[in-house]
Structure 1
Amino acid sequence: MGKYLYGASVQGIQEFIFKTNKLREIVGASEMVKEICEEKFFEVSGGITKPENLILAAAGNIKCLFDEDEKKKLEEVVKLFPKMVMEYAPGITISQAVVKFDGKISEALQDLEMALKIQRNKAAMPLETGYMALNRARRTGGVLYKNIKIKKDVHEDVELSTKRKYDKFNDRDNKNLLFKDLAGEGNFDPKMLSNDMADINVGSNNKWVAVVHADGNGLGNIIQNIGDQLTDSNKFHEFSKAIDNSTKEALQYAFRIVIENDKRCFEESQKKGETKNKDYQYPIRPAVIGGDDVTIIIRADLALDFTKMFLKKFEEISKNNFEVFKLKELDNGLSACAGIAFVKESYPLHYALHLAEELCKDAKKMVKKEDLPKLGNDGSQMPRSSLAFFKVQDSYVESLEQMKKRIKYASASTIDYDYGPYLINKCESRENIPHIGELEAKLDVLKDQQTEKSKGVSKLRHLVSETFKSKDTSKFMYERMKTVNDKFIEALKLPENIFDERQKDQKGNTIPVKSILLDLIQIHSFK
């Protein structure tokens, strides 16, 4: 007897969540997206008869098996689910497809993905039609729906989707479900949640925030390889649940280590009278948590530590959670890559998210290189975990490659400051590959220099700036620092060849020297 493989992909999630920089709207939109996959689908389908038939329902993606005798139920889902979603969350559309199969599910999954790609290219008719005579919401440009209370003594004319986001934000019954995934049930105080972008930086000396996007490595290939085995043993749903649990447990570990430590530091400063703020507010808000996908907004100085902790723990926890399946392909667990976009809190967050996603792809591209050893020593094809970051210091909106070329390449000195991405764990057989331990060791050196009268950090910042203007002047400054700040330069373990004559490639182009200095200075500036 054949089966039907149903797939649905929620389109426009990021645009829906990050349409504005209002944190209350972002939080409400995030909760709505979570509810679409975890509740709305089941309302339409009338519940899943067999739990093992649910393959995936997270982060805007749904895949579910329907038996032959459930064809009418499937037809109702296909008919009603898109309408329900578009009415519930105006601005979001659903692409869906169905594949009938009686062979291997791995082949059916490939066919489903192809069908979904075709459906995504078809334009969806929005439920709201903005005729010229209709009034508009001034801030978002949508069709005006209602004047609502945003917060105390603040009212605004808003469109329908904004109204729904605020309704969800103020919904006491379902509020903070996403934060529970981040911190764990009962492990946070709802009164300490940040509700405005300015709250993220309460207690900080700067106005920088980070948008972090993390995504698992090679999950599609794993499912192609073991999908049939999981289906035959009715464990596909358990596998999806194991991935989801691994993500949440790793996030909760990072929350305990990084955020709770920040809270303790705040309380100590409060006792010493070093801060004017009376109440602590969590410097983090999750936007997407589902499957192996994570998107969060976090205070800039905590972003690197939090992301590192999450990625490292995700490997460990997924490896433990996959032991029950007893499959060779899962022996090393899952790894993940992340991108961190450092921006001012007023910077458009949808641009920051796009940059974080591009950085994540950049990190994935590096770890998938054939000459970089994979996880484990058993011929595993699982790439290593890594992260990449970028600090946006102007208002230009360009591709990542263009920004790197403009900001990280010192043509005057032929120095390339695009040093990363960084491996989370050092690759012993390839010590020349940048890793997070190398960055942290050098950051500790800079931290120790903060109290020194020689002002080594300030001189280093000046040196980097000068390399963009003149090679001779920067070389003189470097030699001078090696004399005056000899212990500092020695501790940094900078390469001796940074100002030597450059080699040329086969085409006669000068090969630039890679340097970690700009990354060091930028991360140090947040501390």
Structure 2
Amino acid sequence: MLCAYLFEVKSVQNYLFAGGKLKDMVAASDLLDKLTESPLDAHLASVGLVEQGKKTKDLPLEEPSISANEVYFARKAGGAFYLVAASSEVDNIRILRQRWTLFVARLFPGAEFIDVIVENKPNVYEAISAGTERLLENRNMLAAKQLQSSPLVKRCSRTGQPAVNVGPNLIKKDEVVDKATELKRQYIRYLKTGDESTLTDKFCTDKSYAWPLHFERTEIDETKQGRTGDADVLFPFIKDESLVALVHIDGNGLGQLLRDLKNSVKDHPAKYLRVFRTFSDGLKIATQQAAAKATVDVLSKHAQVQGDKRVLPARPLVLGGDDLTLIIRADLALEFSYSFIQAFEQESKKFLSDLNTVLPKSSNELKHLTKLTAGGGILYQSPKKPFMHAHDLAEALCRQAKKWAHDCKEKRPISPSVLSLYRLQGGGIESLSSLRKLSVEVEVSEQESWQLSMPAYSVTEPVTDLPTIDQLRACIGFLHKQKAYDMPFTPTKLRQLYTLIATQSLVELKGQLARIDELYRKADTTNSGDLKDWCRLFDELTGVSCDRTLLLVSEKLPLTDTDKQYRASPVADVLMVNHVEQISQPSIAADVQQSKERKAEEMGA
């Protein structure tokens, strides 16, 4: 007979983004990433337990024979673990639970977690199944919290939690922090003594690169006293353009896939451990290799030199299972996400092939799955805005993209890879639907509304009713060309189109389209090719399939056809991405700087 102990940290984002300082988020992400590694091994050793089958290939193909003092892990990553042991070890498991939960509560003040112990089950399958059911029951239960302070105690202004006294080397003068922030600062100090971040190593192992810890120079700890390591480096913005993006990406249909895996071994419970570890470890490796490839292809090419360091323009926050969350310089967000998703699909093919070799022969549906896909959200914002809200919006964008992908799934075994984009400019804390309604939705009547931004973009393959990232990037590529300024479609002209659609100025809009139509007809040989290509690309974004461009037919509007699921235009997306990417384009960046200087001179005059 077997027993099992299942543990999960929940509400990770509350702990991760508390306070909003980049160095505190970095410390929190690293601490969570290391939680199930050496700390868990040390706690197992303290009760005389030893992990078996650390490598997936070392696991038996059938039900393992678990002896006294041995444990096997069905899951061990991302702040969660599922372990099984012989029933004779249940007392040691209870002691482990007491010590482990106390350790987590002290290391992660305010973080919430759930755990259960299951006893007297005949095999690994039934032990883990019973445990996961109880975890689901406990997930929405509120845990009692110890009173942390009296009402008169001073509070940390960034988190609202009780302040604590800390050493002068951990904070700046007059700064007030809570216990969780103090522990994060201690970890950052530990990193600076030369120890490496395990999370960033998953993205890049080249030690000639450094990762930023601060957005502004004023945030650098003046009392660092010559410490070295992953040091006090600034986020490598270009000049004074301090715009970042929070990227959140996770796999499509993983919940259903896990249920299918569970059903596939229901009649073959002896294969449970090997099948799930093969899947879990393979997914982790695929995600890490995709992140590493995107880092080489995108981030390393844009590293900036600061002293003797080459600083990468991003900072990872989460990389576990099928999840990726990172803060990145805004102009690189779309390119990095595109590269990561493409690599993730390719890497997933390899581990699914390995998974098929250990699946029961009856698992026909899973054997037809050749790759995994992902959905993501990119939220552009100022680094001074709260990242807790940004993460909520990025997750909402991810859900929005996945919903459209699922609706367009057609006969695919799994939804296609998709991305959704939004730029946060206001100061309010509102939901994504409210923000989109205020910024990109035009209410025409009670029955009809127009969206000036597409709900999602397909990444790697054409999808009915969804434009592709390649089409969006191609349109923006025209605007990045210097000769684009001699064409009817410039950022200024697009902004005029955007304004006319948003204000429903149909007469002026049709007049503008008519002028474009006239230019299209009279364009000289040199420019007509570019103009026709631009119009074709813009038509593809709106899903129009006709010989003449929709933009050049004055009786229609630059929106998707009414027989589509929605009426939308990519105008806002083209303008937004062009704006955030233009600063890294030398010719356009020069024009932007000259424009700023002219405005400054005019204001001075």
Q: TM-score range by the shorter chain?
A: 0.7 to 0.9
Task: Tell me the residue number matched to 1:513.
Answer: 567
The whole-number CA distance in structure 1 between the counterparts of 2:146 and 2:123 is 38
**What is the identity, as a one-letter code, of the residue corresponding to 1:286?**
P
**What is the identity, as a one-letter code, of the residue corresponding to 2:492?**
S
1:230-269 equivalent positions in 2, closer than 5 A: 232=271, 234-235=273-274, 236-263=276-303
TM-score (norm: length of structure 2): 0.75
Task: Tell me the residue number matched to 1:43.
Answer: 42
Matching of residue 182 in structure 1 with residue 223 in structure 2: no
Matching of residue 136 in structure 1 with residue 135 in structure 2: no
- SS of 1:170's equivalent? helix
- SS of 2:471's equivalent? helix
Contact 2:87 2:120 in 1 (8 A): no
**Shift, 1:483, TM fit:** 3.1
Cα separation, partners in 2 of 1:59 and 1:234, compared to 1, 3 Å? closer
Matching of residue 458 in structure 1 with residue 492 in structure 2: yes
Matching of residue 445 in structure 1 with residue 463 in structure 2: no
- SS of 2:335's equivalent? helix
**Shift, 1:233, TM fit:** 6.8
Cα separation, partners in 2 of 1:302 and 1:48, compared to 1, 3 Å? farther
The whole-number CA distance in structure 1 between the counterparts of 2:555 and 2:179 is 62
TM-score (norm: length of structure 1): 0.86
Cα separation, partners in 2 of 1:439 and 1:302, compared to 1, 3 Å? same
Cα separation, partners in 2 of 1:240 and 1:474, compared to 1, 3 Å? same
Cα separation, partners in 2 of 1:317 and 1:489, compared to 1, 3 Å? same
Matching of residue 403 in structure 1 with residue 405 in structure 2: no
The whole-number CA distance in structure 2 between the counterparts of 1:153 and 1:112 is 45
Contact 1:135 1:143 in 2 (8 A): yes
- SS of 1:141's equivalent? coil
2:378 to 326, 336, 340: 340
Cα separation, partners in 2 of 1:417 and 1:489, compared to 1, 3 Å? farther
Task: Tell me the residue number matched to 1:505.
Answer: none
The whole-number CA distance in structure 2 between the counterparts of 1:521 and 1:373 is 34
1:52-451 equivalent positions in 2, closer than 5 A: 52=59, 53-100=72-119, 102=121, 111-127=130-146, 129-149=148-168, 154=173, 156-171=175-190, 172=193, 174-183=195-204, 185=205, 187-189=206-208, 192-198=210-216, 199-204=234-239, 206-227=241-262, 228=265, 232=271, 234-235=273-274, 236-263=276-303, 280-325=310-355, 326=357, 327=359, 329=366, 331-369=369-407, 371-374=409-412, 381-411=413-443, 414-427=449-462, 430-448=463-481
Matching of residue 23 in structure 1 with residue 22 in structure 2: yes
Contact 1:169 1:175 in 2 (8 A): no
**Shift, 1:432, TM fit:** 4.0
The whole-number CA distance in structure 2 between the counterparts of 1:277 and 1:481 is 51
**Shift, 1:501, TM fit:** 6.3
**Shift, 1:143, TM fit:** 1.5
Cα separation, partners in 2 of 1:284 and 1:128, compared to 1, 3 Å? farther
Cα separation, partners in 2 of 1:167 and 1:151, compared to 1, 3 Å? closer
Contact 1:426 1:437 in 2 (8 A): no
Contact 2:125 2:270 in 1 (8 A): no
**Shift, 1:402, TM fit:** 1.8
The whole-number CA distance in structure 2 between the counterparts of 1:295 and 1:389 is 15
Matching of residue 478 in structure 1 with residue 513 in structure 2: yes
The whole-number CA distance in structure 2 between the counterparts of 1:249 and 1:282 is 18
User: Number of residues paired by the alignment?
Assistant: 500
Cα separation, partners in 2 of 1:439 and 1:260, compared to 1, 3 Å? same
The whole-number CA distance in structure 1 between the counterparts of 2:490 and 2:370 is 43
- SS of 1:394's equivalent? coil
Cα separation, partners in 2 of 1:471 and 1:250, compared to 1, 3 Å? same
The whole-number CA distance in structure 2 between the counterparts of 1:354 and 1:18 is 11
The whole-number CA distance in structure 2 between the counterparts of 1:79 and 1:231 is 30
**Shift, 1:154, TM fit:** 4.5
**Shift, 1:324, TM fit:** 2.3
Task: Provide the identity percentage.
Answer: 22
**Shift, 1:205, TM fit:** 5.0
The whole-number CA distance in structure 2 between the counterparts of 1:372 and 1:204 is 46
**Shift, 1:155, TM fit:** 5.6
**What is the identity, as a one-letter code, of the residue corresponding to 2:102?**
K
**What is the identity, as a one-letter code, of the residue corresponding to 1:232?**
K
**Shift, 1:250, TM fit:** 0.5
The alignment yields a C-alpha RMSD, in angstroms, of 3.0
Contact 1:12 1:91 in 2 (8 A): no
- SS of 2:428's equivalent? coil
**What is the identity, as a one-letter code, of the residue corresponding to 1:208?**
L
The whole-number CA distance in structure 1 between the counterparts of 2:102 and 2:295 is 37
**Shift, 1:159, TM fit:** 1.4
Cα separation, partners in 2 of 1:390 and 1:105, compared to 1, 3 Å? farther
Q: Comparing 278-287 with 479-488, which one deviates more in the overlay?
A: 479-488
**Shift, 1:297, TM fit:** 0.6
**Shift, 1:342, TM fit:** 0.8
**What is the identity, as a one-letter code, of the residue corresponding to 1:57?**
K
The whole-number CA distance in structure 2 between the counterparts of 1:117 and 1:40 is 25
The whole-number CA distance in structure 1 between the counterparts of 2:393 and 2:151 is 34
> Max radius of gyration: which structure?
2
The whole-number CA distance in structure 2 between the counterparts of 1:362 and 1:512 is 14
The whole-number CA distance in structure 2 between the counterparts of 1:35 and 1:126 is 25
Contact 1:211 1:342 in 2 (8 A): yes
**Shift, 1:443, TM fit:** 1.6
